[in-house]
Structures are given as C-alpha cells and as structure tokens.
Amino acid sequence: MDMNIRSLWLLPFLFLMILALHGPIFAEVMFVDLTLVPPSAQINRLDTSFSVTVGTATVTDTDSTDVTGNVLSEVEVFFDPSHQPNVVTAVTFNGGRIDMTDLSYRLSFSFLGNIFADGTGIAATVFTPSPPGTVVGNSLELSEHVVVLNEGAVSAYGTGIIGTQFDPMSADFSQEPIEATMEGQGQIEVILDHVQNERAYYRVVVALPLSIDHVAYEDPELGITVRLGLSGTLQAEGWFSRCVAALCADLTGDGCVDAEDVRVLSDQWLAVGDPGDCPLTAELTGGECYVDLFDLAVFADSWLVGCPL
C-alpha cells in the first residue's frame, strides 16, 4: 500500500481538527463519469455550419452531427442528514471524450465555383481551465468551462475561381486544437435515487448549451474568411454512490469506530486505487478511490459510533 510519510504525521492533527468541527455538514466532492444520453432532436444532436466569406459574399452550408461519449467530472455537494443533496456548490470538468459523426458541406458560388468540405473523426473534450467552476442554484457558468476540439479534421477542396483557393485546405484538430469558450448558463442536478443496504445512490444530470462560432481561416489579402459554427445542447448523465451508514467507518468490522480504525485509515492515507474496483476500505466518499481529507471527514463524523460507553 502506498504511504505518503510526509503527510502521514499530519493525520492525527487533521483528525482532531475535524472532530472539533464535528457537527456542521461538510461538502463532499464526488467523482462522476457522465455519459452523453442518446441523441434526439433536442439534445446531443448539434447544428453545425461551414461558412466562407469572399469579399462581401458569404455562403453557408449546414449539417447536423450526433455526439456520443463521456465527460469526466467532479461535483461538490452538501448532503443533509437524510442524505438528500442539499446544494451543489461546484463542478469541474476534467476530460473524457465526445465523438461527433462526420460532416459534409457544399458551398456554391454560382459561376465562380464550388467549395466542398468534410469533417471526419472529430472528437472533443470538456475542461474547466481554473477549477472548480461555480454553481449557483442548479446553474453553472459556462464561461468557466471550455470545449476543445482536439481530434479529427475538416478538409476542403473546390472548383472554379473561388473554389481553387481551397485546393486543398485542411485543419487538423489533433495538431491545432480549437478551444471554444461558451457563454450563458448550463444546468446541473443531483438527485437521490435510492438507498440500498449501506449506500445511497445518486443520479447526476448535466445540460450544456453550446454556441461556438470559430474563425478557422482568414486571408485578409484575398478577403477570405472561413467560419465553423456549432450549436445545440449536450446532455450527460452519471451516477455516484456514498456510504450513509455510520458503521461504514468501522474498518476493522468489530462494530465500533475507534482508534483501531484510525490505524487502518492511516495505512491507506493518500493511497490510490482503481475506481472501478476499489480495494481501499477507507474510501468512504468521492468514488475516486483516493483516501483523503474528505474520507477523513466522513470517518470523523462516525467517531465512536457503536463503541461501548
């Protein structure tokens, strides 16, 4: 088991501090893998546009793309004593992968030619550059998060006087990612679904309305501007669970949370494991399989539960 000796000596002090603060509810940070729900007319089907301006003439074509994949997130939640999610205070997006179905556009400049463009293998990731992102009520500020198109490419070619300027032209997002900021507000909801045995299970729903207008290419001398547009709503759902029985913190299994259990927790302090099959018994909250201050706080909350007086 990994042990961080430098931080270990701090543990008793932290423990006493949390015990002293014992009483008020504390925020828990939950790791949630959010999966995009199947595309439908309103969600996870984005409108895209490819538009070329030459001089004063702008020609635009549109195509829709279905998005699938996931967004990794950390959600900070306060729970009340009946395990209801009282308030969500922060959310951080830190990865995952969103795949887009391929795109195709055709722009006609009449007798001056045509431009054809294809978007293939495009994938994106959602990030929070300065974590955590604030949440007020159920609303999150989209300006605190970015969508990065970091895989795939848009390539164009053409015919005629205008089209041959594009013969060929391509933007490879894996070489030059597009970082698109968002505006307005998204939604996040945490819902207590059910309590089973010692665990409460929660559903998280996130909706991110996107509106991206990106200048992909500009040649002021020739008066050419190429823009890519993307709009629509991403909706993703995920689950987390947390131990809600006081005896979750009984790591030795003798029915009492005492110094013996602190010893087990110290052995696992700052240890990391596979979240899919977490071997750490002291992983009491977070779902990220990492024993830290949040787990210690849950532990302190159960101090001396079940022990003889």
What residues line the site for Ca ion (CB under 5 A)? 250, 252, 254, 256, 261, 283, 286, 290, 295
Q: Which of 149, 156, 142, 91 is CA-nearest to residue 125?
A: 149
Residue 174 structure tokens: 């894996």
For Ca ion, the closer of residues 44 and 281 by Cβ is 281
Question: Toward Ca ion, which CB reaches closer, 148 or 256?
Answer: 256
User: Per the structure block, which two tokens stand in for 18?
Assistant: 């949390």
Residue 303 CB, nearest approach to Ca ion (Å): 11
Position closest to Ca ion via CB: 286
Q: How far is the CB of 286 from Ca ion (least distance, A)?
A: 3
* Smallest separation (angstroms) from Ca ion to the CB of 95: 18
Residue 273 CB, shortest distance to Ca ion, in Å, is 10
Concatenated DSSP letters for 30-54? EEEEEEEPPP-SSBSEEEEEEEEEE
Nearer to Ca ion, 192 or 247 (CB): 247
- 139-142's contacts with Cβ under 8 Å and 24+ in sequence apart are 139/185, 139/186, 139/187, 139/188, 140/91, 140/185, 140/186, 140/187, 140/188, 141/185, 142/182, 142/183, 142/184, 142/185, 142/186, 142/208, 142/209
3-state secondary structure of 308: coil
Give least dist CB 131 to Ca ion, A.
Answer: 17
User: 105 vs 299, which CB is nearer to Ca ion?
Assistant: 299
Nearer to Ca ion, 179 or 260 (CB): 260
The residues that bridge with 180 in the sheet, in sequence order, are: 147
Angle between helix 11-20 and helix 259-267 axes, rounded to 10 deg: 130
Q: How far apart are CB 104 and Ca ion at their closest, in Å? A: 46
DSSP 2: -
At residue 59, what is the residue type? V
Residue given tokens 């131990």 in the structure block: 243
- If you write DSSP's letter for every residue of 243-270 in order, what string do you get? E-SGGGG-TTSSS--SHHHHHHHHHTTT
Nearer CB in complex with Ca ion: 164/252: 252
Kindly state the smallest distance separating residue 263's Cβ from Ca ion, in Å. 10
CB nearer Ca ion, residue 79 or residue 166: 79
Task: Give the other-Cβ count within 10 Å of 145's Cβ.
Answer: 22
